[in-house]
Structure 1
Amino acid sequence: MSRAALESAVRTAGARVLAALTARYRDLDLAEDAFAEACLRAARTWPERGHPRNAAAWLYRVADRVAIDMLRARKARQRIKPDAGEPATAAEDPMSDEDLLIPDERLRLIFVCCHPALSREARVALTLRMVCGLATEEIAQAFLVPVATMAQRIVRAKNKVAEARIPFEIPRPDAWPARLDSVLSTLEVAYASAHADAAGAGRRAGFAAEILELTRVLADLLPAEEDALALAALVRYAEARRPARLDDAGAMAPLTEQDPTQWNRTLIDEADAYLRRAAELGPSGPRTLQAAIHSAWCGRRTILDPAPWRTVLNLYDTLLRLRDDPFVRLNRAVALAEVVSPEAALCEVDALDGAQLAAFPPYHAVRADLLARSGRTADARAAYDALLALPTSPAERLWLERKRESLAG
């Protein structure tokens, strides 16, 4: 039970505790090391003494004390003096109170870490690691780069923060536009990690509810920013479908097989309102187009309603002119298979960089399905085998195994 309590605390509150430590001590490595030590101490003591009622608060308090000890050992008290009485109130101080470790405060630190002195990729990677608590492997997959490359990128970003003495301060509103795209990209990747497990049982599942709230806060703060409104719409469309993402056997249910009567219409209505406001602000940008694709699907009311493949393909064609990347091309290929042919879609997929996408499960899933539908059963079976060799959630694996077993021969 104690181990389960620790895993639950790390899963649901670990990233926020790490964010609070980072804001308090303004030292990225110190925050990570102190939190890791607190988790080790919990693993040793909780089985003997029982886990505390407020596990997140315990982890924060212990990590806080560890950080102070580490600072003393480094003889760095001239920069941070945590035991010299009550520090002056600062913008991020509420994050050090376990009762106020709330999503809005994490949003503050996301803005802090997305400093324009760092490259866009470094900002997003560093924020995902330090504020959202994603593993380096998860971040590398989101950027389609090797893990070693991403690890080096994060280390360089940390070093630049330290060497350039980048301040850990809440930027003024006039500085937000320079950071907004990185903030939104961080939320996109964090939400994708929460949405990846159809059963909602993954380590990052708790992000979904938080990012619903964070995108609402952003949309309220920036009501004239198309991208903020579009992202708020997109995550609501995606989250609205969660109740229908599993079939009766617990396997992932593809979008075309989901029962729209199970979708959360309240969330869809909220998404529609955000999307309308985004579309009114001018020519649609990439995030608005992505939200519009979700909207096309969420317009279905029953499972008998036709799938909006042609609309989806047209939207992807427009999106491709604005954002040409492997994710867009892969999703467009799915729609192309339905509107034109699986063979045409397979040509598009095979033109992608297979080596770059080798560790990206959706690539193998799409390709395996297209191979099967094109009559290339042996190749499809090999593609499913490659996919099943990658880490997948239980619900997704059950669905994939079912697909592979359905292949003739």
Structure 2
Amino acid sequence: MVSALVVQQRVADLVRECHGRLLALLAAPTRDIAAAEDALADAVERALKRWPDDGIPADPEAWLLTVARNRMRDMWKSHAYRMTRPIAEFDDSPTEVGDEPAIPDRRLELMLVCAHPAIAPEVRTPLMLQVVLGVTATAIAEAFAVEPAAMAQRLVRAKKRIRDAGIPYVLPEREDLAARLPAVLEAVYGAYAIDWQLVPQGAPLETLSAEALHLSLVLAELLPDEPEVLGLAALICLSQARRPARRGADGCFVPLDRQDTTRWDIALIARGEALLRRAHGFGRPGRFQYEAAIQSAHFTRPRDLAALRKLYRALLRVAPSLGAAVALAAVEGEIDGPEAGLRQLDAITQPAVERFRPAWTTRAHLLAEAGRSAEAADAYRMAIGLTGDPGVEAYLREQQRSLELH
């Protein structure tokens, strides 16, 4: 007998760790992602019911795969399914628990399926986030500023398209790979960014960020001569290396210049730097390489502000973004004074800047540096109203109070 709570936690951990790997194997024979999701959900439900009495299997991942495969075989044999679905050849003999060989990792093939030209460009990244990394449609909708119902509908249509078009689960030829690769890189980076923003404080770090790190390193191993693949892996290594120091013991956000450097992951930093050097050697810079170089520059003490300004300007040329524009304004303020930074901030024309919390935080800091305390306090109030992170909110309120006290 095993406690139901222990089983629930183990199953939750398995789903988080193995979702994409199992789903890729289950969906490959028929290209039917929705059916594979149903089969995997059924296996999870059976585990929750049976493991408290039977005990947790020695290889619980193989147990889930076996039960889900047998569920799919039952479905494949049904007359209704054969009449309405294109079927690939499959072994219709049931598998006994414990008979599964070593479980291969076919997540990259699944990601490339999701990036196939037959899939609408705007849904490729959300689809990969859901089917490979298990991100919920609600979280994806929030990240992409889309209504949850609309996002769910797009994902359903994309899965149907994969099934009906019979898109094969194979690594494409080199030319096709180059066309699909940008969407794959965006999905891996998107998973990391979503986890960074949405995982509650105090949750274990072995969540989407760890999965994104793993996938980026697998991509770098598979495509060692693609500099942007190496750049993405370097970026996530360097970003993840600072993550433990980003929060204090009280959960409050800690800005980069105040972080305890002893809490940085030195091994990850070294790995990221090595990947970045390899990418640089190809002489074909791109967005992820510039972002990784920016992360690398932030590790130096004192920081090379001139290098950071150059890197942000280069990043804005190849991949303009609101975040990069705001970061450049902050660097300009450090180099040429707060008024110069404020002018750079005022020059940003994107309408979204008014709802962008980092822009208000940067404005508040620059105003405080310029001695305009009342305006800075107002800017901090705006930033506080735009954050949903308690740790960041606590930090911003501390900055606001210190202005009001002086």
* TM-score under structure 1 length normalisation: 0.79
Separation in structure 2 between the aligned mates of residue 74 and residue 133 of structure 1, nearest angstrom: 30
Change in CA separation of 1:403 and 1:176 when aligned onto 2, cut-off 3 Å? same
- Residue 66 in structure 1 maps to residue 71 in structure 2: yes
Change in CA separation of 1:145 and 1:344 when aligned onto 2, cut-off 3 Å? farther
Contact 1:233 1:270 in 2 (8 A): yes
Deviation at 1:131, TM superposition (A): 1.2
Contact 1:23 1:168 in 2 (8 A): yes
Letter in 2 for 1:39: V
The residue number in structure 2 matching 1:338 is 334
Separation in structure 1 between the aligned mates of residue 381 and residue 297 of structure 2, nearest angstrom: 32
Contact 1:369 1:380 in 2 (8 A): no
Change in CA separation of 1:49 and 1:370 when aligned onto 2, cut-off 3 Å? farther
Pairing partner for 1:352 from 341, 344, 350: 350
Deviation at 1:320, TM superposition (A): 1.0
Contact 1:16 1:106 in 2 (8 A): yes
The residue number in structure 2 matching 1:269 is 270
Render the CA deviation track for 1:312-360: whole Å, top value 9, x for unaligned: 23211221111123343344344344344363355256x43339x85xx
Contact 2:330 2:362 in 1 (8 A): no
Change in CA separation of 1:292 and 1:69 when aligned onto 2, cut-off 3 Å? same
- Residue 326 in structure 1 maps to residue 322 in structure 2: yes
Render the CA deviation track for 1:59-110: whole Å, top value 9, x for unaligned: 33333333334444562247256553489xxxxxxxx9574254xx322322
Separation in structure 2 between the aligned mates of residue 201 and residue 170 of structure 1, nearest angstrom: 38
The residue number in structure 2 matching 1:380 is 380
Contact 2:129 2:191 in 1 (8 A): yes
The residue number in structure 1 matching 2:370 is none
Separation in structure 1 between the aligned mates of residue 66 and residue 400 of structure 2, nearest angstrom: 49
The residue number in structure 1 matching 2:62 is 57
Render the CA deviation track for 1:142-194: whole Å, top value 9, x for unaligned: 44444444334323322322332322333234532122212212221122234
Matches within 5 A, 1:191-202: 191-196=192-197, 202=203
Contact 1:372 1:407 in 2 (8 A): no
The residue number in structure 2 matching 1:370 is 363
- Residue 178 in structure 1 maps to residue 182 in structure 2: no
What's the Cα RMSD here? Answer: 3.5
The residue number in structure 1 matching 2:124 is 123
Letter in 2 for 1:205: E
Letter in 1 for 2:103: L
Alignment gaps of 5+ in structure 1: 88-95
Separation in structure 1 between the aligned mates of residue 287 and residue 18 of structure 2, nearest angstrom: 32
The residue number in structure 2 matching 1:114 is 115
Matches within 5 A, 1:209-248: 209-248=210-249
Separation in structure 1 between the aligned mates of residue 94 and residue 49 of structure 2, nearest angstrom: 31
Deviation at 1:43, TM superposition (A): 4.2
Contact 2:70 2:94 in 1 (8 A): no
Of the structure 1 ranges 267-276 and 124-133, higher mean CA displacement relative to structure 2 is found in: 267-276
Deviation at 1:132, TM superposition (A): 1.4
Separation in structure 2 between the aligned mates of residue 407 and residue 73 of structure 1, nearest angstrom: 70
Contact 2:226 2:279 in 1 (8 A): yes
Change in CA separation of 1:194 and 1:98 when aligned onto 2, cut-off 3 Å? farther
Report % sequence identity.
33
Separation in structure 1 between the aligned mates of residue 218 and residue 143 of structure 2, nearest angstrom: 24
Contact 1:365 1:384 in 2 (8 A): no
Contact 1:275 1:291 in 2 (8 A): yes
Separation in structure 1 between the aligned mates of residue 254 and residue 54 of structure 2, nearest angstrom: 43
Separation in structure 2 between the aligned mates of residue 406 and residue 97 of structure 1, nearest angstrom: 61
- Residue 84 in structure 1 maps to residue 61 in structure 2: no
Separation in structure 2 between the aligned mates of residue 222 and residue 69 of structure 1, nearest angstrom: 38
- Residue 100 in structure 1 maps to residue 103 in structure 2: yes
The residue number in structure 1 matching 2:22 is 17
Separation in structure 2 between the aligned mates of residue 48 and residue 369 of structure 1, nearest angstrom: 56
Separation in structure 1 between the aligned mates of residue 261 and residue 60 of structure 2, nearest angstrom: 38
Separation in structure 2 between the aligned mates of residue 159 and residue 230 of structure 1, nearest angstrom: 33
Deviation at 1:399, TM superposition (A): 4.0
Separation in structure 1 between the aligned mates of residue 346 and residue 50 of structure 2, nearest angstrom: 57
Change in CA separation of 1:312 and 1:287 when aligned onto 2, cut-off 3 Å? same
Task: Say which SS state the counterpart of residue 72 (structure 2) adopts.
Answer: helix
Change in CA separation of 1:74 and 1:224 when aligned onto 2, cut-off 3 Å? same
Deviation at 1:237, TM superposition (A): 1.3
Render the CA deviation track for 1:8-28: whole Å, top value 9, x for unaligned: 222222233223322244201
Contact 1:319 1:328 in 2 (8 A): yes
Separation in structure 1 between the aligned mates of residue 344 and residue 364 of structure 2, nearest angstrom: 10
Separation in structure 1 between the aligned mates of residue 253 and residue 198 of structure 2, nearest angstrom: 9
- Residue 155 in structure 1 maps to residue 156 in structure 2: yes
Deviation at 1:378, TM superposition (A): 3.9
Deviation at 1:292, TM superposition (A): 1.1
Q: Which structure's CA Rg is the greater one?
A: 2
Alignment gaps of 5+ in structure 2: 368-372
